[in-house]
Structure 1
Amino acid sequence: MCHIEFATSTAPADVVRRQYLASAAGDLDALRATLAPDVEWTEMAGFPLAGTYRTPEGVTANVMEKLGQDWEGWAAHDDTYVVDGGHVVVLARYTATHKATGKPLAVRVAHHFVVRGGLIVRFEQFVDTALVRDAMTPGT
């Protein structure tokens, strides 16, 4: 019963957790189902996919699918949640191996989500982009 409640809960932390679980499972349909139609998803300046993407399809096509093309085993590990109303900050880690360089990545990140009406309406990523770039650069 707990799983069913979690799966249908509109509590902000539960919605965000479903997004991480869907991403980890590679279930882009389930991930899109956590996003509002007018979502604004911002990848940090300096990150390889930097920019703001809109619509659930735009987010998965321009972020998740591209990460899967360039990285082996890309995963966002959601470690700690800080919740204030509809704001959810997640302290997390990215792990992966860059396909072109073979270099591993292990970097701490912070994600800020805004959840309204049971859907993610805004996302902003904070990450040490130099570590990501290092993993993408041959011979460093």
Structure 2
Amino acid sequence: MKNIIAFTTLGLVAATAGLSATAQTPPVDPEMEVVEAAEDAASATNLVKGVYAGFESGDIAAATSGFAEEITWNEAENSPYADKNPYVGAEAIVTGVFARLGGEWDYFNAVPSEYIAQGDRVAVIGRYQAKHATTGKEMDIPFVHVWTVEDGAITGFQQYTDTLTHTEVMSD
């Protein structure tokens, strides 16, 4: 109902200014909007897939190549790596998250299984498979990553995962 009221109010403003609503509104081809939205979603998804490909090959430069200069990265609440949230910029993410993961785990894999894109967001569903170097404990836990893509660059990341298991695996 709010949308209808807002639309009506805008229509009245245009009418009181002596402008016709049809003169201001260019014709819209709904099929073109759908095609453009699909292309944007595909482009954003491919950019995010590049991050996981970089992780898989161990190429951090490739993993971060699509990051915007001021990307904001948030680890899940109660994550062992949320202590410095938000991480801003690739260097903060690499030193605050990636280097710590590399130093504390024998292996730590983020394995995506599904990508869901809408607008400027890409949600990735997958699993972390890892072995902690000190405790020797392993984990296989689900994650959801929500990425924000603007103007062809990744500007945001939010992690959701089982932080209790993650923390337990790191503890003796």
One fold, TM greater than 0.5?
Answer: yes
* Structure 2 stretches lacking a partner, 5+ long: 1-41
More helix by share: 2
| Cα distance, 1:38 vs structure 2 | 0.7
Which of these residues, 122, 125, 130, is aligned with residue 96 of structure 1? 130
1:122 and 2:120 are equivalent in the alignment:
no
2:146 pairs with one of 84, 92, 112: 112
Q: Which amino acid aligns with 1:33?
A: S
| Seq. identity, % | 29
CA shift, 1:87, in A, is 0.4
Distance in 2 (alpha carbons) for counterparts of 1:24 and 1:72: 14
Once residues 62 and 31 of structure 1 are traced to their aligned partners in structure 2, the CA distance between those partners, rounded to angstroms, is 15
* 1:77-119 deviation digits (Å, cap 9, x = unpaired): 0111111021000001101100110000110000000011221
Separation in structure 1 between the aligned mates of residue 80 and residue 146 of structure 2, nearest angstrom:
19
Structure 1 unaligned regions, length at least 5: 1-9
Equivalence for 1:6:
none
RMSD over aligned CA atoms reads 1.1
Q: CA deviation at 1:64?
A: 1.0
1:74 paired residue number: 108
What is the deviation of 1:44?
Answer: 1.1
- Report deviation, 1:15: 0.4
Partner in structure 1 of residue 56 of structure 2: 24
1:45-75 deviation line (CA, Å, top 9, x unaligned): 2111002101111111111111011111111
Aligned residue pairs, count: 129
d(CA) in 2 for partners of 1:101 and 1:73?
Answer: 13
Q: Whole-Å Cα distance in 2 between the matches of residues 42 and 18 of structure 1? A: 19
TM-score using structure 2 length: 0.73
Q: Is the 8 A contact 1:32 1:57 kept in 2?
A: no
TM-score, length of structure 1 as denominator length = 0.89
